[in-house]
Structure 1
Amino acid sequence: MRYFIIGFMGSGKTYWGKQWSEASGLPFYDLDEEIEKKEGKSVSAIFAEKGEDAFRKMEAEMLALFYKKEDFILSCGGGTPCFHNNMKQMNNHGATIYLQSTVEELVQRLHAEKETRPLIAGMNDEVLAEFISNKLNERSSFYNQAMYHLPTRYMHIDNFQKIIRRHG
């Protein structure tokens, strides 16, 4: 079975993907890391050199390669579901899991990571909260199409086992 984890940056997609991978024995992949390997440069560098449109095209192409694989957990970038019909395609090819966080939770988590995330580097917490709120509003119609919605404040390793039993 294919499992696609979606949600805003800082929602814990990579963390929980790795935890669930270890518990289930399914291989874990991070979509951004796969793009970075293929391109030989960071996502930030791709954005800077080629722009968001080019990155989103690469992202959709890399995502499509996973539709041919079986039995994995894939952590997707925060914007992945919002472009190139990706959300519909992920739903057609596997189970989508939305890690749902509040603005307050995301500000708290991202505060310490601001300098390692180019999109939010240098933002104070007030500006960060407004940015997150606006982006969540823009993306909510895509995120809400996920098959499973897991509020991150209640996350536990058993959440994924329940999804496997129901969807696997």
Structure 2
Amino acid sequence: MRYFITGFMGSGKTYWGKQWSEKFGLKFYDLDEEIEKREGKAVTAIFEEKGEEAFRKMEKETLCTYMKLDNFILSCGGGTPCFHNNMKRMNAQGVTIYIKSPVELLVKRLHTEKETRPLIAGMNDEVLAQFITGKLTEREHFYNQAMYHLPAEFMSLDNFQKIIRRNG
């Protein structure tokens, strides 16, 4: 089975993906890290040098390579579901999980990571909160298409075990 974890940056996709993969014996991949390996540079550098449109194309191409694999968990970038019909593709090819996080929690988590995240670099916390609120409003339509919605504040290993039982 293919498991795709979606949600806003800072929601815990990579953390929980790693936890679940270790506990349930599935391979784990982080889509942004896979793009960085393929391109030989950080996502931040790709955004700066080539722009978001080029990055989103790389993201789609990299995502499509995982449709040929099986028995893994893939942590997707926050914007992945919102471009190039990626959410539709992930729903057709596997199980999608949306880790839903409140704005306050995202601001707290992202406060120390601003410089490594190209979309929020240099923002103060007030602007960051406004940005997150706006982006969540834009992206919620895509995130809500996920098969499972898990509130970030109630995450556990058991959440994923229940999903595995339902999807084999």
CA root-mean-square deviation: 0.8
Q: Deviations over 1:7-40 (max 9, x none)?
A: 0000000000000000001000000111111111
Shift of 1:149: 0.2
Q: Which sits farther off after the overlay, 70-79 or 36-45? A: 36-45
Number of aligned residue pairs: give it. Answer: 168
Q: SS of 1:96's equivalent?
A: strand
Task: Look up the match of 2:77.
Answer: 77
Task: Look up the match of 2:100.
Answer: 100
Task: Look up the match of 1:133.
Answer: 133
Asked if 1:157 is matched to 2:164, the reply is no
Task: Look up the match of 1:114.
Answer: 114
Taking structure 2 as the reference length, the TM-score comes to 0.98
Shift of 1:6: 0.3
* Structure 1 gap ranges (5+): none
Task: Look up the match of 2:167.
Answer: 167
CA distance in 1, matches of 2:117, 2:108: 14
% identity of equivalent residues: 76
CA distance in 1, matches of 2:11, 2:42: 20
- Letter in structure 1 aligned against 2:128: L
Task: Look up the match of 2:50.
Answer: 50
Task: Look up the match of 2:68.
Answer: 68
Q: Deviations over 1:44-84 (max 9, x none)?
A: 11111111111111110110110110100000000000000
